[in-house]
A = this chain, B = another copy of it.
Amino acid sequence: MAKEKKLVEAITSMNEDFAQWYTDVVIKAELIDYSSVRGCMVIKPAGYALWENIQKELDARFKETGVENVYMPMFIPESLLQKEKDHVEGFAPEVAWVTHGGMEELPERLCVRPTSETLFCDFYAKEVESYRDLPKLYNQWCSVVRWEKTTRPFLRSREFLWQEGHTAHATAEEAEERTKQMLNVYADFCEEVLAIPVIRGQKTDKEKFAGAESTYTIEAMMHDGKALQSGTSHNFGDGFARAFGIQYSDKNNQLQYVHQTSWGMSTRIIGAIIMTHGDDSGLVLPPRIAPTQVMIIPIQQRKEGVLEKAEEIRRTLAAAGIRVKTDDSDKSPGWKFSEQEMRGIPIRVEIGPKDIEAGHAVLVRRDTREKVTVPFAHLAEETAKLLEAMQKDMLERAREHRDAHIYTAETYEEFKETIDNKPGFVKMMWCGDEACENKIKEDTTATSRCMPFAQEHIGDVCPVCGRPAKAMVIWGKAY
């Protein structure tokens, strides 16, 4: 079996080459495959099942806050894209253009949506008349296209899947509240479901979304110390409303502009799961998001009673609401162990003739490889507990790793020394001037990740220019 041989070769070790380790895991855990379309990926069943679980969890959280789903066209006429000046400048250089429909040249080029602010604005301009029509709390699940030069699976591809929420409100306060609310939905989801701790904060003007008044972000630290922007929420003020003429009559019959927000999370987050939790044996999936939580692996499965017992255990666990499968293929147990580990399935249940005789099964945690022997009578209960414990420990471990890699710099020398030599984030004061951000990027390739909501006072001046500091910024190299 040529394919099997390929899998048993060790994947590149993280410490040796983190980028190669990532690619190896993505491919060998069968999350994606490359396609004949340059820069686009095929999301395979294991990868898509992860995305389906993410969708299910997020969608329920959105709907709890009153959000409704809609679907906008995938094309944006060039004239529509150009209505908001900053927005078009930000996106036009990286869109794909449709110029022909069937055999005919189109009268106006259409871009394939890189994001849908312009379409939602166009829609709201028709839809909103009175204060009674507000707020509009819409979201869509779709794919978007950005013509990137260099691409990497999940992290940066020419087409990716995401959700984009777009809301319109009567007041600036309400829009601001919604912007923060959705950032918190993302942050809670990352921590509770994906076991990824995140830093909540605001982007600097240089890093904010094209057309936004302010952009809030959640930033996660990957195992190699680099940052991954995991979700963003934008407050547009009334900028788009003015560009698109979205007005409503208030209770006094006066015309007012709406205030808008947008917020998105994409398949990029799958990259964050991999790089936060993975190890040299492959993926490690947090139990709450794992499509399969438990893999039962029969030992000496041809011996009488083994497969029957495995099936009995599968039914018991499934009845307890656990997502469980049995690997009864004709591969060797050792091979099956490697596969289950590569795919990051949280718990493996080993069951062979000796276990059956002894009246127990062996449970192995994917993250710690800790083994516990559990009597058949307590299997469902103990498995559920183990899944809970693993979920909690994974978040804790990720938080410890992150906190151990956040440094503080009081001088620019110290900053450069740290950022160049220690993987991780550096906290440093900042004057608010883009010139200092640019200098830091030139000198170190690090960027401002965010001005965290939890500000600390590290000093009075910006160590780069010596002028008075306005905020503490988290700096880091980023995906």
Residues on A lying within 8 angstroms of B by beta carbon are 1-3, 33, 35-37, 40-45, 48-49, 51-52, 68-77, 80, 93-103, 110, 112, 119, 122-123, 126-127, 129-130, 138, 142-143, 145, 147, 158-159, 161
* A95/B99 in contact, CB under 8 A: no
8 nearest interchain CB pairs?
A40-B73, A101-B147, A45-B68, A43-B71, A97-B100, A37-B73, A102-B147, A99-B99
CB neighbours (8 Å) of A73 from chain B are 35, 37, 40-42, 159
* B70/A44 in contact, CB under 8 A: yes
Contact of A42 among B97, B123, B145 (CB under 8 A): B123
* A110/B37 in contact, CB under 8 A: yes
Question: From DSSP, what is the main secondary structure of chain A's interface residues?
Answer: mixed
Name the residue of chain B whose CB is nearest to the CB of A2: B129
CB neighbours (8 Å) of A123 from chain B are 33, 35, 42
CA distance A63 to B103 in the complex (A): 39
* B69/A52 in contact, CB under 8 A: yes
Contact of A100 among B36, B43, B68, B96 (CB under 8 A): B96
CB neighbours (8 Å) of A44 from chain B are 70
Separation in Å of the A25 CB from the closest CB of chain B? 19
Separation in Å of the A173 CB from the closest CB of chain B? 24
6 contacts between A and B (CB under 8 A): A44-B70, A49-B68, A51-B71, A71-B143, A97-B100, A142-B143
CB neighbours (8 Å) of A100 from chain B are 96-97, 99
Copies of this chain assembled into the complex? 2
CA distance A114 to B154 in the complex (A): 24
* B43/A70 in contact, CB under 8 A: yes
Separation in Å of the A265 CB from the closest CB of chain B? 16
CA distance A76 to B42 in the complex (A): 12
* A77/B143 in contact, CB under 8 A: no
CA distance A70 to B42 in the complex (A): 8
* B48/A70 in contact, CB under 8 A: yes
Separation in Å of the A419 CB from the closest CB of chain B? 31
* A69/B98 in contact, CB under 8 A: no
* A96/B95 in contact, CB under 8 A: no
CB neighbours (8 Å) of A37 from chain B are 73, 75-77, 110, 119
Q: A48-B70, A69-B52, A73-B42 are contacts. A36–B101 as well, Cβ < 8 Å?
A: no
* A72/B42 in contact, CB under 8 A: yes
CB neighbours (8 Å) of A77 from chain B are 36-37
CA distance A257 to B40 in the complex (A): 27
CA distance A37 to B158 in the complex (A): 23
CB neighbours (8 Å) of A45 from chain B are 68-70, 138
